[in-house]
Structure 1
């Protein structure tokens, strides 16, 4: 089901009920970009700390523009999983209508800029999404707003500290900006609406008795659908009529004429910030659903994704608050918030490592579209007998969304595919557990989750020093092969390391020469020496074997030895020209290498 700012609040209770009764939730995100600059690209040299810092900087530059959630339940008697899938278009909006940036100080002493929201769109990502018919009109016109939990807390704290004074409330920067930055054309619309309400109110007063069922309906849907314009309209009504008129915002934007007592008005300071709290609550937007996902995940309803690391990072950054400063702190925080998560890409790699599936039945890629096709239409449907039925239940789909539901890279469809693959992978792990492909009983969802529990909280890591990270424990040691050391034979071909363009040219030359053997990354040590990180041992063997034969090659290539090849160690030992005893050399090398 397609969800925008027009139906999000209406659907939220239904979604919460489905989350409450589900077995697990699958999620997928589409981003406005992936890499903010070249220095932040993934590298096989990256340690876990380095990779986290790169991804953190990237995710602070981009935003989630589409989130898909597929909610799966299990019917034991029918051996059937059923899913309800939702696609959400997201677009954060500032407090105010542009203009000057106003700042406020938070409780921890940092400054918060209120009105403007800045984010990047990466051109290659936009082209990619266009290829898959991403609807940018829905994004920009109907995207659901959101603010982080951190922002919500700070804004509410500011209001609570000022609620005893109307003047202090109106001096809060995010409130002040809304009131001062309204465009002239919007102000004209509001004044017209206020005039009509005034005339309606005068007619009501002429009646001998007040009819509380009588209401004034705002016809201008532009005002009704704009949270901040509605706030200004209600605030002005409250100022003019004080305690004599309150209002109920139904789906038509109606106001009900109601008389309040003086006692209510005088004794309740919370009434002073009633409209401001409503403004914040309506601006929270999609973060309300994020809170539900974390709530039910903490109640042991797993959250499942494919290559989930980036999704977790961008959700934490934009829906919770700023990502933690260090990698270890991030692991602690995200595990507190999402203690039960699975990554289907990681699961697919681990399943192949069991050697349970015959070679002729194995998938040839761990990409989501390949896995889904393999399990749905290919050889993977009945690798283990009695595999459950998986049904997708969709309601009230627009024609354009019904078409896109069968397209990969629609976040809703990708979330459904992820959940589908999760079930199929879990069922094969049942076969691994019982050491047979002939399962003659219905395997419940509880047993599926129990058998794969040891793979929980492990996130696949693309092109890194390790293949995955573990959120609830120590990370694995690197299973990548040792680096290669590359040296140019001729100084005439040497490249001067201080010249960035020449350095990049040299990296490209080495990459072009060695890249045909497999996935590699290159780091220059100096003007004619480089390190090469290689994805797997077969690639290393092929490169060493090939260049051992090619005596005419311009490169000398050997396995990297830190004692022989590291500039730091060589400088440490010989740079001062001092003579070091044999025992001191051994001790120094041991400390440096470790």
Structure 2
């Protein structure tokens, strides 16, 4: 089910009921970008705090523009799992420059979404507007809510050619029906018509004929996606057809209402490689991401105490990983596990994705991706024979790029168990920018300092490495040859500039200040 600004509130009660009944809820987002700069790409040697900081700086620069939410309810009678996927086009509020959101567009991400048939017009013209808890509090405290309310009314009053043409098409027929017809009602087909089009039509005929004739409008179904007929009915409007007032909170919160409900119910959520997803959820719908990784973990724990990540789950089981193929990518995982138990079926009201061959066109639509993530979760859980006690072992662990240690939302100690803070780390740059065998560099340090070293490519560059000594003594001995943390050495016909990692980070900090206008980066030791 696709949701926009013009049909979201009409379907809100239905979506909330599906959330209330759900055993699990899968979430997925599409963003305007992922990586703001090569300076913010994770390195193998980054500490946990630096990794968090880099993702945070990327997250705050981009926007989620589509949210996928899929509820999963286990049916004891049929042993099926009933899925209700929802695809939301979303966009943040801005009030005359006040709390206006500045964000970046990544050409790579936009091209990727365009190639996957993403509808940007829907996002920018019809996206469900939302405020974070933090922004709503600021607006209320500064008494700017009325400005926001005026903005909503302005958006609803924008008239399109489609609206004008629809009024022209049926206005005369409605007038004739009201004047001379003996029929009790007049039918107008509205299947696949945008809600704002027939809403504008109702407002137009009510304004023009409402004082001369007594009539009201109703639909053939209370469920918006099932509506096909608009009825113009003669006589007084019965109470059950009158519009329900929408709570002010619903008006401003947008899809945040649903995330609040999931949080209040403490329903387990399912992600796929979802560290950036959960950080965007917190940053865009609750409050600005904190600087501290430990504080972020604590805040997320209070909001969403149970998180499962299908990529992490798959990578822990050889039997599942062997089935889904390399990198445990979501689409391959879904296709290769599709025929396994349990049977995941779509709810009657959400059949848009119910065709495996046509589903290829929905890949990277957030609603379908959230459905795939939940389906993979159920299949993998069954294949791994996980009861709740065993499943708890995989709870609150989300993959981190370039290392096998997950981001653990269950670890409240904040301890970085991965990095040894006593080993000296160095940055190595080949001055002539030519390829040099690793064995040449390793042989030099083995002969001169009687120690082994490991080399790791730096940010994907062919001519830059991180170098780590295997012994503390060897790294200390080499450090004595450096001046102000830098030295140049010759190995054969090649020259290398080697910098202590702390000095290298300081160089990145200066670049970050100039290029990205951000605070200083945490160091490897933080």
Q: Which of the five TM-score ranges fits, normalised by the shorter chain?
A: 0.5 to 0.7
Question: C-alpha separation between the residues in 1 aligned to 2:256 and 2:121?
Answer: 22
Question: C-alpha separation between the residues in 2 aligned to 1:314 and 1:478?
Answer: 25
Residue 429 of structure 1: aligned partner: 384
Deviations 1:168-222 (A, max 9, x none): xxxx59739959x989x979xxxxxxxxxxxxxxxxxxxxxxxxxxxxxxxxx97
Which stretch of the first structure deviates more once superposed, 400-409 or 334-343?
400-409
Structure 2: 5+ residue runs without aligned partners? 160-194, 204-218, 225-229, 231-244, 442-453, 488-523
Aligned residues of 1:483 and 1:531 also touching (Cα < 8 A): no
Question: C-alpha separation between the residues in 2 aligned to 1:317 and 1:134?
Answer: 23
Question: C-alpha separation between the residues in 2 aligned to 1:425 and 1:519?
Answer: 36
Matched position secondary structure for 1:373: helix
Residue 367 of structure 1: aligned partner: 329
Residue 307 of structure 1: aligned partner: 273
Matched position secondary structure for 1:67: strand
Deviations 1:375-420 (A, max 9, x none): 115xxx3xxxxx3222123536679999567532111111111111
Question: C-alpha separation between the residues in 1 aligned to 2:368 and 2:353?
Answer: 15
Question: C-alpha separation between the residues in 2 aligned to 1:94 and 1:510?
Answer: 54
Aligned pair 1:477/2:413, yes or no? no
Alpha-carbon distance change, 569 to 93 in structure 1, aligned in 2, over 3 angstroms: same
Alpha-carbon distance change, 465 to 483 in structure 1, aligned in 2, over 3 angstroms: farther
Residue 4 of structure 2: aligned partner: 4
Residue 76 of structure 1: aligned partner: 76
Matched position secondary structure for 1:324: coil
Alpha-carbon distance change, 483 to 137 in structure 1, aligned in 2, over 3 angstroms: farther
Aligned pair 1:562/2:475, yes or no? yes
Question: C-alpha separation between the residues in 2 aligned to 1:50 and 1:370?
Answer: 31
Larger radius of gyration: 1
Matches within 5 A, 1:174-573: 175=147, 281-296=250-265, 298=266, 301-352=267-318, 357=319, 363-376=325-338, 381=340, 387-393=341-347, 395=349, 406-430=361-385, 448-464=387-403, 466-474=405-413, 477-478=417-418, 494=431, 520-522=456-458, 530-532=465-467, 561-566=474-479
Aligned residues of 1:305 and 1:418 also touching (Cα < 8 A): yes
Question: C-alpha separation between the residues in 1 aligned to 2:292 and 2:525?
Answer: 24
Alpha-carbon distance change, 140 to 522 in structure 1, aligned in 2, over 3 angstroms: same
Aligned residues of 2:72 and 2:82 also touching (Cα < 8 A): yes
Alpha-carbon distance change, 529 to 81 in structure 1, aligned in 2, over 3 angstroms: closer
Question: C-alpha separation between the residues in 2 aligned to 1:413 and 1:182?
Answer: 32
Deviations 1:245-298 (A, max 9, x none): xxxxx999xxxxxxxxxxxxxxxxxxxxxx9x97665122111112112122x2
Matched position secondary structure for 2:327: coil
Q: Which of 91, 101, 106 is 1:117 aligned to?
A: 101
Alpha-carbon distance change, 64 to 510 in structure 1, aligned in 2, over 3 angstroms: farther
Residue 498 of structure 1: aligned partner: none
Aligned pair 1:149/2:62, yes or no? no
Aligned residues of 2:139 and 2:145 also touching (Cα < 8 A): no
How far did residue 146 of structure 1 move?
0.6
The count of aligned residue pairs is 398
Alpha-carbon distance change, 373 to 476 in structure 1, aligned in 2, over 3 angstroms: farther
Residue 66 of structure 2: aligned partner: 66
Residue 38 of structure 1: aligned partner: 38
How far did residue 451 of structure 1 move?
2.8
How far did residue 143 of structure 1 move?
0.7
Deviations 1:559-579 (A, max 9, x none): 89532445799869x9xxxxx
Question: TM-score by structure 1 length?
Answer: 0.57
Alpha-carbon distance change, 559 to 73 in structure 1, aligned in 2, over 3 angstroms: same
Alpha-carbon distance change, 396 to 76 in structure 1, aligned in 2, over 3 angstroms: closer
Residue 115 of structure 2: aligned partner: 131
Alpha-carbon distance change, 77 to 2 in structure 1, aligned in 2, over 3 angstroms: same
Aligned residues of 2:272 and 2:373 also touching (Cα < 8 A): yes
Matched position secondary structure for 1:85: strand
Matched position secondary structure for 2:362: coil
Question: TM-score by structure 2 length?
Answer: 0.63
Matched position secondary structure for 1:68: strand
Question: C-alpha separation between the residues in 2 aligned to 1:14 and 1:152?
Answer: 25
Structure 1: 5+ residue runs without aligned partners? 102-112, 160-171, 188-220, 231-249, 253-274, 382-386, 432-447, 496-504, 534-556, 575-591
How far did residue 468 of structure 1 move?
3.6
Aligned residues of 1:81 and 1:390 also touching (Cα < 8 A): yes
Alpha-carbon distance change, 155 to 519 in structure 1, aligned in 2, over 3 angstroms: farther
Question: C-alpha separation between the residues in 2 aligned to 1:308 and 1:89?
Answer: 19
Aligned residues of 1:323 and 1:330 also touching (Cα < 8 A): yes
Matched position secondary structure for 2:344: strand
How far did residue 558 of structure 1 move?
8.4
Residue 447 of structure 2: aligned partner: none
Aligned residues of 2:65 and 2:123 also touching (Cα < 8 A): yes
Aligned-residue Cα RMSD (Å) equals 4.7
Question: C-alpha separation between the residues in 1 aligned to 2:290 and 2:133?
Answer: 14
Residue 92 of structure 1: aligned partner: 92
Question: C-alpha separation between the residues in 1 aligned to 2:313 and 2:158?
Answer: 53
Write 1 or 2 for the structure with the bigger share of helix. 1
Question: C-alpha separation between the residues in 1 aligned to 2:346 and 2:424?
Answer: 47
Alpha-carbon distance change, 476 to 361 in structure 1, aligned in 2, over 3 angstroms: farther
Matched position secondary structure for 1:452: helix
Residue 240 of structure 2: aligned partner: none
How far did residue 479 of structure 1 move?
8.5
How far did residue 339 of structure 1 move?
0.5
